[in-house]
Amino acid sequence: MTRIKRGVAAHKRRKNLLKRAKGFDNRRSTNFVAAREALLHADTYAYRDRRNRKRDMRAVWLQRANAALRDNGTTWSKFAGVLKKEGITLNRKMLSEIAIRIPDTFDLWVKELAK
């Protein structure tokens, strides 16, 4: 029976893992065991924060819209109530974008709806 040399898959697996840990500090970027542990944590944080990013962006949209509304003498809560009463269904992202990119139009809307 011929001899079978092993290790190709293991070397590839270790090399790929160390490649993923390339930017880490000190031993975490060069030592397989430390890099594997660091990547377990990094992947956990990445998974969690992909969801948290959506929460953070919603808060940013509200802050932007509220800042633009305060310049017009009202607040987000009052404006949201008027939008609901009028049956206007624009999401927070779009309101925020309009407030930033087309402030004149946004100001007209606020003045029109505030009557």
Q: pLDDT-based confidence at 3, cuts 50/70/90?
A: confident
Q: What is the pTM for the complete model shown?
A: 0.72
* Residue 16 tokens, joined: 């790929």
Report the chain's mean pLDDT, rounded to a whole number.
94
Alpha helical stretches, state H, the chain: 8-20, 32-71, 76-86, 92-101, 103-114
Q: How do the domains of the chain map onto residue ranges?
A: 8-114
* Class for the domain spanning 8-114: mainly alpha
